[in-house]
Amino acid sequence: MAFDYDLFVIGAGSGGVRASRMAAAAGARVAVAEERYLGGTCVNVGCVPKKLLVYASHYSEDFEDAAGFGWSVGPRRFDWKKLIENKNAEIERLNGIYAGLLDGAGVERIEGTARITGPRSVEIGGREITCENLLVAVGAWPFLPDIPGVEHAITSNEAFFLDELPGHVVVVGGGYIAVEFAGIFHGLGAQVTQLYRRELFLRGFDDDCRTTLATEMRKKGIDLRFGTDVAEIAALPDGRRRLTLTSGDPVECDVVMYATGRVPKVEGLGLEAAGVVQGDKGEILVDAYSRTNVPSVWAIGDVTDRLQLTPMVIAEAMAFVQTVYHDRPTAPNHENVPSAVFSQPNIGTVGLTETEARARFDDVVIFRETFRPMKHTLTGSDEKTMMKLVVDRASDRVLGCHMVGPDAGEITQGLGIAIQCGATKAQFDATVGIHPTSAEEWVTMRTPVAE
């Protein structure tokens, strides 16, 4: 049977674009459909604009810190509209780059919503298209709970396009998006309350990172409230919002932003027409090579609910192309993936948490240091940095590295290489540090934490 395309990709996010380009480079006839914007969540309402807002929000502290180094900073004024305008211009530039990459690779771009109609067919804009292989890379979408008045809340999608900076923001959620936006809004001058229904946010991260960040955020003046949730949201006549908490307490604010997780964006996709099996959350179930139960249908990225990180979906895309178009079956590696939370201060982490390590290994040794960074010896700030190594005593292998502090994400990238290579604590100790830096602490920690 002759197909219209060798590969049809639904979703032109980071994974879909990479898979399309690399498959086309291997000689495949490729088309990619996108209903919203090129670059997906990461480029448009995720990693990139969020990091730009993080940079913007940190200037308030930088201005304050400058005094300790002899700088006199004059009157300051923040312009939210200017920030959003500049952010939008940068995103538009990146959209253009993605379009150029696809066009240059010979990939056909199709604008519109694609719906799967069979194992090897899709429909888009009234056009029926056939393909030998179908790759689903549609990502995920913010989740909103079913509570009274939730229509009066926004998600991170809308937060990037607010007309003005709110005076008081309530952030609901305890994941990395929630803590990052709490820091963004606070740094830009808003009053921030963050609510989380469990006892401590950032579930799944190392406990020392979680407790350290909570302490530092409270020092900055962010109102963290754990063990509580929103029961109801009401819109007030003046445009503000009144939240009734599960404790019965009321909270009034200008904006309530939900960051309570993301769910696979599968509604209306037509997976049932191809017989693709899904999990309890709607995620597309795949094998180690990103193949579904239907041999011609594959899926990568957030829609599979494996590891929701942009570099990971790119790795999955590359593995898919190796498997299908280079006859080299390649399973993406989801272990020891370094990641960062651009909270204030940052979190950088790679490898096993202490809890995970103790569940897998008989004898785990912990090395941990908490200190005031050199910069703050003159600023007067009491912000602390925490660095932690998790080590298997039997093999001396470093199982995990965890940090809370400035530039933690930048520092952790290099540690990811060491962990991936199976570095031992002795090899860390034998490495000469760079002085004076916070990063040198990774190779100077000698005394284990007393158990």
- C-alpha span between 54 and 63 (Å, rounded): 15
Answer whether 319's CB lies under 8 Å from 289's CB. yes
Inter-helix orientation angle 47-66/176-187, to 10°: 40
- The reported pLDDT for the residue numbered 259 is 98
**Cα dihedral 47/50/52/54 (nearest 10):** -120
pLDDT at 354: 98
> What was the pLDDT predicted at 6?
98
**Looking at residue 350, what is its pLDDT?**
98
Catalytic residues: 435
DSSP-based three-state secondary structure for 339 = strand
Helix (H) or strand (E) holding 51: helix 47-66
Q: What is the pLDDT along the chain (451 residues), one digit of tens a residue?
A: 699 999 999 999 999 999 999 999 999 999 999 999 999 999 999 999 999 999 999 999 999 999 999 999 999 999 999 999 999 999 999 999 999 999 999 999 999 999 999 999 999 999 999 999 999 999 999 999 999 999 999 999 999 999 999 999 999 999 999 999 999 999 999 999 999 999 999 999 999 999 999 999 999 999 999 999 999 999 999 999 999 999 999 999 999 999 999 999 999 999 999 999 999 999 999 999 999 999 999 999 999 999 999 999 999 999 999 999 999 999 999 999 999 999 999 999 999 999 999 999 999 999 999 999 999 999 999 999 999 999 999 999 999 999 999 999 999 999 999 999 999 999 999 999 999 999 999 999 999 998 7
Neighbours of 54 (CB within 10 A): 18
DSSP sequence for 95-162: HHHHHHHHHHHTPEEEES--EEEETTEEEETTEEEEEEEEEE---EEE-----TTGGG-EEHHHHTT-
Chain-centre distance of CA 41, in angstroms?
10
Task: Quote the CA–CA distance of 21 and 37 in Å, as a whole number.
Answer: 17
Which element (helix H / strand E) includes 275? none
Residue pair 36/13 in contact by the 8 Å Cβ criterion: no
391 touches 399 (CB < 8 A): yes
pTM score, two decimals? 0.96
* pLDDT for the residue 450: 83
Q: Any idea what DSSP says for residue 387?
A: E
First to last CA, the chain: 67
Query: What's at 57, amino acid-wise?
Result: S
Write the DSSP symbol of residue 278.
B
Q: 28: left (phi > 0), else alpha (psi -120 to 50), else beta?
A: beta
Q: How far apart are CA 285 and CA 306, in angstroms?
A: 9
Give the pLDDT score at 451. 74
What residues contact residue 439 under an 8 Å CB cut-off, 6+ apart?
Answer: 411, 433
One DSSP character per residue, 240-299 reads -EEEEETTS-EEEESEEEE---EEE--TTS-HHHHT--B-TTSPBP--TTSB-SSTTEEE
Q: Does residue 345 have a cis bond before it (omega within 30 degrees)? A: yes
Query: Quick one: pLDDT at residue 301?
Result: 98
Domains belonging to the chain, first-starting first, are 5-142+263-325 (3.50.50.60), 150-260 (3.50.50.60), 339-443 (3.30.390.30)
pLDDT at residue number 150: 98
Written as one string, the DSSP assignment of 187-206 is: HTT-EEEEEESSSSSSTTS-
> CB burial class (10 A; 0-12, 13-18, 19+) of residue 350?
buried
Of the candidates 336, 312, 324, the residue with the CA atom closest to the CA atom of residue 423: 336
Reading the block at residue 277, the tokens are: 């099996």
What's the token pair of residue 253?
């604010």
